[in-house]
A = this chain, B = another copy of it.
Amino acid sequence: MSGGATLDIEELTRRVTEIFALAGLTPLQAETVAGVIVAGERDNCKSHGIYRIDGCLRTLAAGKVEPKAEPVLTDDGSSIIRVDAKGAYSPAAFAIGAPVLAERAKQQGLAALVINTCTHFSALWPEVEALNDMGLAAIAMCPSYSAVAPSGGTAPLLGTNPFAFGWPRPSQPPYVFDFATSIVARGEIELHRRAGDPLPEGWAIDAEGQPTTDPEAALDGAMLPFGGHKGSAISTMIELLAGAMIGDLTSPEALDYLGSTEILPRHGELILAFSPERFAAGRGDPFGRAEKMLDAIAGQGARLPSQRRFAARKISLSEGISLTGEEMASLDALRDTAARIGQKT
């Protein structure tokens, strides 16, 4: 396969947005979905880059996402801002809710954004980073669909349930982590399957609840939580707070709704935004104190999370995003697929 190319971010954004527009998404949905996918590619975070387009289109073709939906914001003046995505992809809902969330967090010190009934595929770090850019600390979490056995359990029940946190840093990218509460992201198992590589020990159990290193068997069985019973507990917290509490689907309910893990999950999301100035209330400079802590971690030679992403971003911003011939061809093929889907919707 030949034809690799280096695209600048605007050009890749244009191409990916066009794919989703052709597929029938509203301009807001197409732009915001393309935004998070290009951000993934920009940061060399391949499992959330253009690799995700195919799943988005399959979910659309299956009628499990609403391409024409316009998310609706409800604000009753409390600490909770709600956006009903009406079945749209989550980034559109976040785009509508984030400015109101940020304003409320600055006003009240602390506020939450609840997103309901969205189709979800994106990493959470673009969202926490967007809030960090507004000077806020943020936590984001959501269920997914049953793929992980609880600690001590035997079958998929919990989702891979990502948990993300971001803290704004002066004059440099934020402190950000975003991880699956499974021992790895589901995408990692997929990548092993595609590559024909066995899984490391301890990642998964098979359909009989026995340990396995076979990616196919793992996809038929269950992944395991990170950190044993502690990771399992955090994943359960996410089911409760970002599922049951916000009146939206838990991971088993999302799987029941879809009937398949081949399609992107529909559920809700919970985002908390904190104003460090309001929390510090004049007791010193919270950002300066944080820098001392973060510098001390890095000073031991311990890597801060997301540094690999930020290094890749720096290169992408100055030199563009390099795609292989295979990736360029896949963009063309996805464009054709999107056009066919768009004609039917």
Interface residues of A (CB under 8 A from B): 78-80, 82, 107-112, 114, 116, 137, 139, 149-155, 157, 165, 167, 175, 177, 179, 226-234, 236-237, 239-241, 243-248, 250, 252-253, 272, 274, 276, 278-284, 286-287, 289-290, 292-294, 296-297, 300-303, 305
Contact = CB atoms under 8 A, between A and B. Distances in A.
B112 A112 contact: no
A150 B293 CA distance: 11
Contacts of A244: 276, 286-287, 289-290, 293
Contact of A137 (B150, B245, B253, B297): B245
Contact of A283 (B110, B233, B248): B248
**Which of A139, A167, A292 is packed against the most chain B CB atoms within 10 Å?**
A167
B233 A82 contact: no
B283 A246 contact: yes
Contact of A293 (B167, B230, B239): B239
Given A79-B79, A179-B230, A236 B155 contact: no
- Copies of this protein, total: 2
A272 B272 CA distance: 10
The A contact surface, by secondary structure, is mixed
A300 B79 contact: no
A301 to B, nearest CB: 6
Contact of A300 (B150, B227, B286): B150
A79 B293 contact: no
A78 B252 contact: no
A293 B236 contact: yes
